[in-house]
Amino acid sequence: MPGLPASSTRFRIGTDDFELDGRPHRVIAGALHYFRVHPDQWADRIRKARLMGLDTIETYVAWNAHSPERGAFDTSAGLDLGRFLDLVHAEGMHAIVRPGPYICAEWDGGGLPGWLFEDPAVGVRRSEPLYLAAVDEFLRRVYEIVAPRQIDMGGPVILVQIENEYGAYGDDADYLRHLVDLTRESGIIVPLTTVDQPTDEMLSRGSLDELHRTGSFGSRATERLATLRRHQPTGPLMCSEFWDGWFDHWGEHHHTTSAADAAAELDALLAAGASVNIYMFHGGTNFGFTNGANHKGTYQSHVTSYDYDAPLDETGSPTAKFFAFRDVIARYRSVPDEVPAMRGDAPAFAIAFDAAVPLADLVPDDAAAWRATDAVPSMDQLGVFRGFALHRVELPASTRTRVLAFGEVRDRAVVSVDGVRIGVIQRDQHETAIAVPPGRILEVLVEDQGRVNYGVRIGEAKGLIGPATLDGVELTGWASVPLDLDAMAGSVSSAASLAGASVAEPVRFLDGPVLAHASFDMDAPADLFLDTRSWGKGVAFVNGFALGRHWTRGPQHTLYVPGAQLRAGRNDLVVFETGAAADPVVAFLAQPELGHLES
- Residue 274: is its pLDDT beyond 90? yes
Phi, psi (degrees; rounded to nearest 5) at 183: -65, -45
Mean pLDDT of 581-594: 93
In CATH, what number does 349-357+485-589 get? 2.60.120.260
| Ordered alpha helix ranges (H), 361-410 | none
Indicate the SS3 state at residue 537: strand
Q: How many other C-beta atoms lie within 10 A of the C-beta of residue 225? A: 21
Top CATH class, 364-482: mainly beta
Which of 7, 30, 23 is closest to 236 using CA atoms? 23
Top CATH class, 11-329: alpha beta
562 touches 317 (CB < 8 A): no
Domain boundaries, the chain: 11-329, 349-357+485-589, 364-482
Residues in the chain: 599
- Residue 97: is its pLDDT beyond 80? yes
In the set 19, 241, 408, 460, the catalytic residue is 241
Residues with Cβ within 8 Å of 438's Cβ and at least 6 positions away in sequence, in order, are: 398, 399, 400, 401, 417
In the set 19, 165, 265, 408, the catalytic residue is 165
Predicted local confidence at residue 99, as pLDDT: 99
Tell me which H or E stretch contains 141.
helix 129-146
pLDDT digits (tens, 9 = 90+) for 161-179: 999 999 999 999 999 999 9
Residues with Cβ within 8 Å of 76's Cβ and at least 6 positions away in sequence, in order, are: none
Nearest-angstrom CA–CA distance, 568 and 29? 36
Distances (CA, A) of 569 to 205, 347, 503, 519: 57, 15, 17, 10
Indicate the SS3 state at residue 149: helix
- Residue 503: is its pLDDT beyond 60? no
Q: Do 349-357+485-589 and 364-482 have matching folds? A: yes
Sign of CA dihedral 197, 202, 206, 209: positive
Global confidence as pTM: 0.97
- Provide the terminal-to-terminal Cα distance of the chain, rounded to the nearest Å: 50
Q: Is 106 a catalytic residue?
A: no
Q: Is 265 a catalytic residue?
A: no
Average pLDDT score over the chain: 97
At residue 294 the predicted structure's pLDDT band, cuts being 50, 70 and 90, is very high
